[in-house]
Amino acid sequence: MVGMVTQGEVNLWLMWCVATFGNVLGSCVNYWLGTQVLRFKDKKWFPVSESGLESAQKQFNKYGVYSLLFAWLPIVGDPLTVIGGIFKVRFSLFLLLVTLGKGARYLAVIALAVGFEKLI
């Protein structure tokens, strides 16, 4: 993205929309997977114990649904979106928070790239 901005001749608005939409779409897949995963929790191969699920629920409740604003972060972002599905966050709220977070990230990346381009 930064490379495209510094090369010029790119529609920044369109780039922002496509990047945000694609990333949010991936998070929606994670949310859906989260809504389906608990039907396997009684299987012995299931990777998370009952106590692990309870711990995740406590952490999610502690930081609240607004932690989904940080779904853009590497490493923790994808698990956050799966947890949103597991704990049945209302989808419209999920979509709003994830879109705000990811959209803000791409806006910052583009703004930094435009600023970097002007420095060169």
Contact yes or no for 110/39 (Cβ under 8 A): no
Round to whole Å and give the CA distance between 46 and 19.
33
Beta-carbon count within 10 A of 58 CB: 10
pLDDT recorded at residue 118 = 66
- 2 pLDDT exceeds 80? yes
Say what the pTM is: 0.85
The confidence band for 48, taking pLDDT boundaries of 50, 70 and 90, is confident
Question: Cα–chain-centroid distance for residue 108?
Answer: 16
Compute the residue count for the chain.
120
49-56: average pLDDT: 84
47-53: average pLDDT: 83
- 95 pLDDT exceeds 90? yes
Per-residue pLDDT tens over the stretch 104-113? 999 999 999 8
The confidence band for 59, taking pLDDT boundaries of 50, 70 and 90, is confident
Round to whole Å and give the CA distance between 63 and 15.
32
Kind and range of the H or E element at 102? helix 91-119
Count the domains in the chain. Answer: 1
pLDDT recorded at residue 31 = 97
Range of the domain at 16: 2-119
* CB contact set of 27 (below 8 Å; sequence gap of 6+): 71, 77, 78, 81, 98, 102
